Amino acid sequence: MRILVALSGGVDSAVAAARLVRDGADVVAVHYRTGVAAEDPAAPVRARSCCGVDDARDARAVAARLGVPFYVVDVSDAFRRDVLDAFVADYAAGRTPNPCIACNQHVKFGRIEDFARSVGAEAVATGHYARTAPRPGATTRLLRAIDPTKDQSYVLYGLSEAQRARARFPLGATTKAAVRDEARAAGLPVAAKPDSQELCFVPSGDHRTVLFHLDPSLRRPGPVVDAAGRELARHDGAAGFTVGQRKGLGVTGAAPVYVTEVRPADDRVVVGPREALLRRVVRTAPLHWVDVSPAEGLARAPWRVEVRIRHAAPPVPATLDVAPDGAATVTFDAPVFAPAPGQALVAYDGDAVLAGAPIVGSSAGDPPAGG
């Protein structure tokens, strides 16, 4: 089978490619050029983007080491439209986006699949830590990785059934430590390369500087206020703040405060104590079902599930109910901290990704009877 492997220039995708070559696959490597090397003016030139010139060079070196064909594909149009524009639009509306989910759906397993077909590849592989498995009825399940500290199934929930069926995740049943050891043993030139810790187009970690660079009109000063409307500090633009944020608020005082609400329409950021952000009930947009059909998901509701409300959050127990329009109401067994509108809520049935959707709202709710 011919498999197209997306080489980012990092160690994970390199080992994924090496494993496929070892197992006898006909591997073709591709590095995608997103065109975002200059989107982070706060970053040093050498760290501008994980899809920059240095990473393309590293990806080419890996392909040469493995003896596989190597291509660079320009996906800047799709990345700009489906990732960067959505990033700006979400923050402008007071939401907190997750660009990695959009990139996986529209670029890595969207735009790149067009190229896969052009080279006769039947599957697309990446260095993500996740697993897939066939399911009766010729559908494809998306499962958590074996290593819970590296599991990336959360950012893959938006893949379509066709994308999941063609996806290959060679690292899903291994640990990061094993991947590093394997890279060194294979002599891969990126074996010691550090992992990227930030968004690829925000390598400095300063996403607000990037946001204002992409859309200068969002830099509109305004007040940071408490729940009663009293001004506590000033900000240089409400866009880019996120619910639950503690740092960078400019508020002094003995007790820490957190962003409880972002109001871009009147350029206000509302803050309050941590307990003001504890939520038991979270509402979502219509669900993207993964492990079952929408009809089955609705018919079998309510579901007992484990839920993530952000990528780094551990899964926690909850009950998921579904409205006729497909939107979900999720009631957590114990309150969760700061579910941010725009972030994804992903529900798991055992190891399988059941469904996911963007968060649209939340409330403190009422504890269950006897709780």
Strand ranges of the sheet holding 268-272, from the earlier edge strand across to the other edge: 231-235, 222-225, 268-272, 258-263
Kindly give the parts of the chain with pLDDT less than 70.
37-52, 366-371
Specify whether 51 is catalytic: no
How many of the other CB atoms lie within 10 Å of CB of 211? 21
292-339, pLDDT tens digit by residue? 999 999 999 999 999 999 998 899 999 999 999 999 999 999 999 999
Token pair belonging to 316: 């926690």
50, 51, 100, 200: the active-site residue: 200
| Cis status, amide bond into 221, omega within 30 of 0 | no
Which residue carries 């979400």 as its tokens?
90
- In this structure, is the dihedral angle defined by the CA atoms of residues 339, 341, 342 and 347, taken in order, positive or negative? positive
pTM for this predicted structure: 0.92
The whole-angstrom separation of Cα 281 and Cα 360 is 11
Q: What pLDDT sits at residue 41?
A: 64
Q: Which residues pair with 233 in a beta bridge?
A: 224
CATH number of 2-185: 3.40.50.620
The whole-angstrom separation of Cα 159 and Cα 165 is 10
The residue ranges of every structural domain in the chain are: 2-185, 220-272, 277-363
Specify whether 200 is catalytic: yes
Question: For residue 168, which of 192, 142, 199 has the smallest C-alpha distance?
Answer: 142
User: In the CATH hierarchy, which fold is given to the domain comprising 220-272?
Assistant: SH3 type barrels. (2.30.30)
- Cβ atoms of residues 91 and 240 within 8 Å: yes
Question: For residue 207, which of 167, 265, 247 has the smallest C-alpha distance?
Answer: 247
Token pair belonging to 184: 């060194």
User: In the CATH hierarchy, which fold is given to the domain comprising 277-363?
Assistant: Elongation Factor Tu (Ef-tu); domain 3 (2.40.30)
3-state secondary structure the chain: CEEEEECCCCHHHHHHHHHHHHCCCEEEEEEEECCCCCCCCCCCHHHCCCCCHHHHHHHHHHHHHHCCCEEEEECHHHHHHHHHHHHHHHHHCCCCCCHHHHHHHHHHHHHHHHHHHHCCCCEEECCCCCEEEEECCCEEEEECCCCCCCCCHHHHCCCCHHHHHHEECCCCCCCHHHHHHHHHHCCCCCCCCCCCCCCCCCCCCCHHHHHHHHCHHHCCCEEEECCCCCEEEEECCCCCCCCCCCCCCCCCCCCCCEEEEEEHHHCEEEEECHHHHEEEEEEEEECEECCCCHHHHHHHCCEEEEEECCCCCCCEEEEEEECCCCEEEEEEEEEEECCCCCCEEEEEECCEEEEEEEEEEEECCCCCCCC
Q: What pLDDT sits at residue 46?
A: 46
Question: Hey, what long-range contacts does 138-144 have (CB within 8 A, 24 or more apart)?
Answer: 139/165, 140/164, 140/165, 140/167, 141/290, 141/291, 141/352, 141/353, 142/290, 142/291, 142/352, 142/353, 143/172, 143/351, 143/352, 143/353, 144/348, 144/351, 144/352, 144/353
339-363, pLDDT tens digit by residue? 999 999 999 999 999 999 999 999 9
Q: What pLDDT sits at residue 51?
A: 61
50, 51, 100, 103: the active-site residue: 103
